[in-house]
């Protein structure tokens, strides 16, 4: 064969990378390790929480990847030996590689939020990995009485999809406005300012009046601990006992990246931005949420673009050619109500050790007619169809 590449993680980064590798060179032996037979997408999962969409619309399988000649191993990767260039899986099997790609997404930095562990997440769901948690949060909202309070605890950056917590607050407000109009959304935020803030705040005023209250970092909004037994959220300023507590904890690279030695003290993985090769471990590339992408927000569009660029670099490296400098594009759509959307598009290029945003980006205007918001909501739905077909279909 022309070389063996093992990809760990069949999400937006890993699946896109595996496909791009095989398409670039059919002689490559490409193996994708992913424990779940069905991938559940985070993008559009806020619609599921708000009852606007069913979870089935979020589910994607790996049949197409298998048909294209990718070996899909339905196991979790458990250890990496960079010297032997091998990976082991839960069933005890060992796979060797010339190049290893890690796209394990995020894990929660539980030490950074005392009181929040797996058991606590059953009472105070994060819903920051889609699936059972998404449905749990939805059921809690459905069970809540009118007049109740839904708190959303938001961590500092870097974290997965910076605008998504505010999209969630918006869509929960939409659900409440329709079904429980006396209820409130309380945002407890570890940040003072956030992505597309003016667009969100304009939309909240227009659509939800005083339903959403936000306490930022300077007002003591950062969550410092939780107590799941009493459903209490402790912030720098005071204690809250909301009826529904959506606690999104601080994050770091998926655990396997730490096991592989690819994560640094920040919890994320430093990379060479041209090849996505780890700065810490040779022959291992890290893409998606797990890598330190500099100016690139952690999103599915970014993970997919990184997966493809990484595949191109690996094909060149294995053939003894110099890798080309990538230029990545990403677009992030937000939906704050049915038929009301906006977007943020960016272009990114390597600059030194990181990616920097370069010209050509665009954010939706703050003052715009509803027709534009409606058009962007349609574009968001089309974006989802396109990226999921590109990744899995
Ligand atoms: P993932 O897609 O999470 O994939 C990681 C995969 O690795 C998983 O399938 C996991 O099972 C697997 N894995 C982990 N550990 C192992 C192991 N040891 N062995 C084998 N496999 C392993 N992005 C957008 O662009 N647009 C949006 O509108 C958007 N909306 C979002 C809304 C919400 C509520 C959230 C939470 C996120 C949203 N995102 C959005 C962000 C997007 O989901 C992530 O940025 C994207 O999924 C990152 O891709 P990834 O490949 O790094 O990780």
Atom 22 of ligand 1, residue of closest alpha carbon: 9
- How far apart CA 298 and CA 319 sit, in angstroms, is 30
- How far apart CA 298 and CA 332 sit, in angstroms, is 10
Let me know: does 252 contact 263? Beta carbons within 8 Å.
yes
- How far apart CA 361 and CA 343 sit, in angstroms, is 11
- How far apart CA 171 and CA 180 sit, in angstroms, is 13
Atom 51 of ligand 1, residue of closest alpha carbon: 13
Helices (H) and strands (E) in the chain, counts: 10, 22
**Sign of the Cα pseudo-torsion (349, 351, 355, 359, in order):** negative
Q: How far is the CA of 236 from the centre of ligand 1 (A)?
A: 30
For a pocket test of ligand 1, which of 43, 53, 309, 379 has the largest count of ligand atoms closer than 8 A to its C-beta?
43
Which residues have C-beta atoms less than 6 Å from ligand 1?
Answer: 8-14, 33-36, 39, 42-43, 45-46, 76-77, 103-105, 128, 160-161, 164, 254, 256, 288-290, 298-301, 303, 332-333
- How far apart CA 276 and CA 291 sit, in angstroms, is 8
The complex scores an ipTM of: 0.99
Atom 18 of ligand 1, residue of closest alpha carbon: 77
- How far apart CA 196 and CA 262 sit, in angstroms, is 32
Q: How many CB atoms lie within 10 A of CB 126?
A: 20
Q: How far is the CA of 368 from the centre of ligand 1 (A)?
A: 32
- How far apart CA 137 and CA 143 sit, in angstroms, is 10
Q: How many angstroms separate the Cα of 340 from the Cα of each of 255, 343, 380?
A: 36, 11, 10
Q: How far is the CA of 12 from the centre of ligand 1 (A)?
A: 6
- The residues with which 355 forms a beta bridge, in sequence order, are 350
- Residue closest to 54 by CA, chosen among 123, 134, 126: 134
In tens digits, what is the pLDDT along the chain, a chain of 393 residues? 789 999 999 999 999 999 999 999 999 999 999 999 999 999 999 999 999 999 999 999 999 999 999 999 999 999 999 999 999 999 999 999 999 999 999 999 999 999 999 999 999 999 999 999 999 999 999 999 999 999 999 999 999 999 999 999 999 999 999 999 999 999 999 999 999 999 999 999 999 999 999 999 999 999 999 999 999 999 998 999 999 999 999 999 999 999 999 999 999 999 999 999 999 999 999 999 999 999 999 999 999 999 999 999 999 999 999 999 999 999 999 999 999 999 999 999 999 989 999 999 999 999 999 999 999 999 999 999 999 999 999
- How far apart CA 39 and CA 85 sit, in angstroms, is 27
Q: How many CB atoms lie within 10 A of CB 385?
A: 10
Q: How far is the CA of 19 from the centre of ligand 1 (A)?
A: 17
- Ligand 1 atom nearest 33 alpha carbon: 20
- Residue closest to 14 by CA, chosen among 308, 364, 326, 378: 308
Phi and psi, residue 386, nearest 5°: -65, -50
Let me know: does 266 contact 175? Beta carbons within 8 Å.
no
Which two three-digit tokens encode residue 22?
A: 């095989």
């Amino acid at each position: 064969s022309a070389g063996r590449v093992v990809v760990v993680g069949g999400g937006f980064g890993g699946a896109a990378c595996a496909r791009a590798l095989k398409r670039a060179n059919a002689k490559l032996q490409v193996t994708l390790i992913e424990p779940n037979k069905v991938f559940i997408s985070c993008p559009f999962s806020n619609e599921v929480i708000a009852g606007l969409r069913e979870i089935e619309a979020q589910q994607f399988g790996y049949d197409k990847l298998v048909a294209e000649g990718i070996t899909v191993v339905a196991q979790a990767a458990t250890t990496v030996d960079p010297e032997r260039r091998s990976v082991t899986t839960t069933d005890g099997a060992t796979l060797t590689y010339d190049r290893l790609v890690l796209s394990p997404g995020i894990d929660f930095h539980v030490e950074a939020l005392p009181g929040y562990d797996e058991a606590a997440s059953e009472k105070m769901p994060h819903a920051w990995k889609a699936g059972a948690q998404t449905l749990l949060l939805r059921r809690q909202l459905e069970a809540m009485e009118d007049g109740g309070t839904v708190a959303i605890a938001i961590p500092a950056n870097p974290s997965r999809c910076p605008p998504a917590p505010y999209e969630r607050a918006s869509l929960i407000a939409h659900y409440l406005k329709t079904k429980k109009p006396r209820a409130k959304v309380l945002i407890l935020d570890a940040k003072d300012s956030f992505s597309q803030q003016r667009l969100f705040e304009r939309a909240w005023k227009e659509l939800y009046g005083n339903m959403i209250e936000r306490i930022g970092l300077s007002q003591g909004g950062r969550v410092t601990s939780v107590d799941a037994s009493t459903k209490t959220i402790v912030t720098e300023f005071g204690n809250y006992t909301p009826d529904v507590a959506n606690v999104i904890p601080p994050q770091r690279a998926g655990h396997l990246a730490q096991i592989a030695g690819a994560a640094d003290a920040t919890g994320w993985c430093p990379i060479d931005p041209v090849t996505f090769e780890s700065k810490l471990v040779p022959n291992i590339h890290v893409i998606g949420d797990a890598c330190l992408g500099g100016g690139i927000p952690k999103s599915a569009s970014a993970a997919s673009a990184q997966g493809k660029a990484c595949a191109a670099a690996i094909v060149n490296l294995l053939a003894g050619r110099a890798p080309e400098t990538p230029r990545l594009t990403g677009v992030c759509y937000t939906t704050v109500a049915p038929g009301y959307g906006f977007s943020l598009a960016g272009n990114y290029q390597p600059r030194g050790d990181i990616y920097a945003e370069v010209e050509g980006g665009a954010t939706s205007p703050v003052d715009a007619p509803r027709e534009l918001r409606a058009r962007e909501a349609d574009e968001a739905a089309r974006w989802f169809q396109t990226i999921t077909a590109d990744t899995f279909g």
